[in-house]
Amino acid sequence: MNKFIQMGSRWIGLPGAIIISCVAVSWLIGCAGNKQSGEVAVGTREKGGAQLWAENCQRCHTMRSPSEYSGAKWEVVMQHMRVIGNLTPEEHKQILEFLKSGT
């Protein structure tokens, strides 16, 4: 156990480097990609909102019915989930459309 901790201390720079790299790549994707907000990527579009809803929401909690909130309330909820659940803009858009269609 101590060896693991010492290793963690020694390699503390590695997680930091990974995270910094992620930030940089994410920034590049967001800015250089010049993608319009909510534009749907091919893979995500193939899945559809219902499937993305099941895959992403179910990973943490039971799936709540689309009729539980109004469309306007789902927009607020999904903004919360987009941040805490690390949803891509495509997933966010697709899932939100699905939820609003069921209200």
CB of 50 to another protein, least distance (A): 13
**Nearest-approach distance from CB 32 to another protein, in angstroms:** 10
Amino acid occupying residue 4: F
Do the beta carbons of residue 53 and residue 92 sit within 8 Å?
no
For the CB of residue 12, give the shortest distance to another protein in the complex, in Å: 6
Q: Least CB distance from residue 31 to another protein, whole Å?
A: 6
Q: Can you read off the two tokens belonging to residue 51?
A: 């499937």
Which is nearest to 44 in space by CA: 88, 11, 7, 79? 88
* φ and ψ at residue 62, rounded to 5 degrees: -65, 150
Q: In whole angstroms, give the CA distance from residue 95 to residue 56.
A: 9
Q: Residues in the site for another protein, rule: CB under 8 A? A: 1-2, 4-5, 8-9, 12, 15-16, 18-20, 22-23, 25-27, 29-31, 35, 37-38, 41, 43, 55-56, 58-65, 68-70, 72-73, 75-77, 79-80, 83-90
